[in-house]
C-alpha cells in the first residue's frame, strides 16, 4: 500500500512564497539598474556604496547573511538536513530576502 502524500502546510507555503518574492523583487531592480547604468555587477556593487545610508544597509544585510550562514551550518550538522545548505548560496547569490525564507521552508519540512 502506498503512503498518502503529505500536504504542504500553510506556514511552509508562506515561507516558499516569501523566498520566491525575495528572489524576484530585488533581482528585478538589480537587473533594471544594470541595464540602465551599464557596468554589470561591478557597477551594481559600486552603487551599493554610493553613500553612507546604502553602505550601512549593505553591512546590515551582510552581517545578517553571515549569521544565517552560521545558523544553517550549525543546524545542518545536528539535523543532517543537507538540503538546507542550499540556503547559503541562495543567500549570497540572490539575497537574504530569498535565503532566509528558503531556509525556513527547508527546515520545516516533515521528517521521518
Residue 78 has pLDDT above 80, yes or no: yes
Q: Which residues 6+ apart lie within 8 Å of 52 measured at CB?
A: none
pTM of the model: 0.87
Whole-number Cα distances in Å, 10 to 1, 20, 33, 84, 105? 27, 15, 35, 19, 11
Rg (CA), the chain: 17
Does position 88 have pLDDT exceeding 70, yes or no? yes
Determine the pLDDT at residue 8: 85
Amino acid at each position: 500500500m502506498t503512503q498518502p502524500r503529505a500536504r504542504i502546510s500553510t506556514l511552509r507555503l508562506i515561507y516558499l512564497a516569501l523566498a520566491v518574492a525575495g528572489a524576484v523583487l530585488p533581482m528585478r531592480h538589480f537587473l533594471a539598474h544594470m541595464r540602465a547604468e551599464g557596468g554589470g555587477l561591478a557597477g551594481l556593487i559600486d552603487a551599493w556604496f554610493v553613500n553612507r545610508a546604502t553602505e550601512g544597509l549593505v553591512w546590515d544585510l551582510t552581517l545578517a547573511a553571515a549569521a544565517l550562514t552560521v545558523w544553517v551550518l550549525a543546524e545542518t550538522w545536528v539535523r543532517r538536513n543537507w538540503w538546507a545548505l542550499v540556503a547559503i548560496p541562495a543567500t549570497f547569490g540572490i539575497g537574504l530576502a530569498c535565503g532566509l525564507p528558503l531556509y525556513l521552508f527547508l527546515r520545516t519540512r516533515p521528517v521521518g
